[in-house]
Amino acid sequence: MFKSSISRRMVVKAAACLALAATSLTALPAYAETTLERAKKDGYIRVGFANEAPFGYATPDGKLTGEAPEVAKAVLAKMGIAQVDGVLTEFGSLIPGLKAGRFDIIAAGMFINPKRCAEINFSEPSYGIGQAMLVVKGNPKGVKDFSSFKENPDLKLAVMAGAVEGGYAKDAGVAAGQIVALPDQSSLVAAVQSGRADAAA
C-alpha cells in the first residue's frame, strides 16, 4: 500500500461511527421511544457491520470485534447496554439497512461526508485516516494515485461498493469503465492478486 497524493481525500474517517438514522431522532411524537430508550429497556442493541478488518469483522467463532465494534461496546456499556448483537451486511448496505431498521447503529470504518450526514447522524470520530491504494508487490504498473488511471485507460481500479473511493475516482477523472465495484475488502484484495484490477482504493 502507499498513500495517495490527493490531499482533499484526507478526510476524517469515523471508525466508530455510531450512526443513527436521522429520521429516528427528529420529529418524533411525544410518546415515541428513542433507539437508546428501547435498547436500555430491552438490554441489547443491534449493530450493523461490514466484515471489514480491522475496522469491524466477525471472528471465526462468530464474535463481533474490530476497532469500531470494540469502541461501540465500551461506549454502549457506559450507557447501560451490555449486549451488542452484530448484523453482518455488505458495506454498501450499511446506511440503507440502518434506515430500514435492520439494525440500530453502525459500527464500521466510514468516512463522514455531507451526503451521508444528510441521511444519518454520526458520533464523534475515533480517528482520522488518509486514502491509500493497494497494488501488487513491486507496483509493476507504476500506479501512483488516481491520475495514473486517467493517464492509462487500460488500468482497472477496484473499489468497495458504497464506499467513497468510487466517487473520488470519478471526480479525479477516472473513467467509469475502469472502475470495478466489489462488495468487500477481501474481494478487493483478490481482484488485485488475480490481476482483475491493477490497484484497489
pLDDT at 14 (0 to 100)? 36
φ/ψ of residue 120, rounded to 5? -140, 165
Is the pLDDT score of 31 beyond 80? Answer: no
Is the pLDDT score of 51 beyond 90? Answer: no
Which grid cell sits at 17?
A: 461511527
Angle at Cα 137 formed by Cα 136 and Cα 142, nearest 5°? 70
- Residues 6 or more apart whose Cβ sits within 8 Å of residue 158: 180, 181, 182, 187, 188, 191, 192, 196, 197, 199, 200, 201
Report the distance separating Cα 193 and Cα 17, nearest Å: 30
Question: For 56-108, what is each residue's pLDDT tens digit?
Answer: 889 999 889 999 999 999 999 999 999 999 999 999 999 999 999 999 999 98
Which grid cell sits at 76?
A: 454502549
Is the pLDDT score of 111 beyond 90? Answer: no
Q: How confident is the model at residue 2 (pLDDT cuts 50, 70, 90)?
A: very low
Show the domains of the chain with their CATH numbers: 12-128 (3.40.190.10), 131-200 (3.40.190.10)
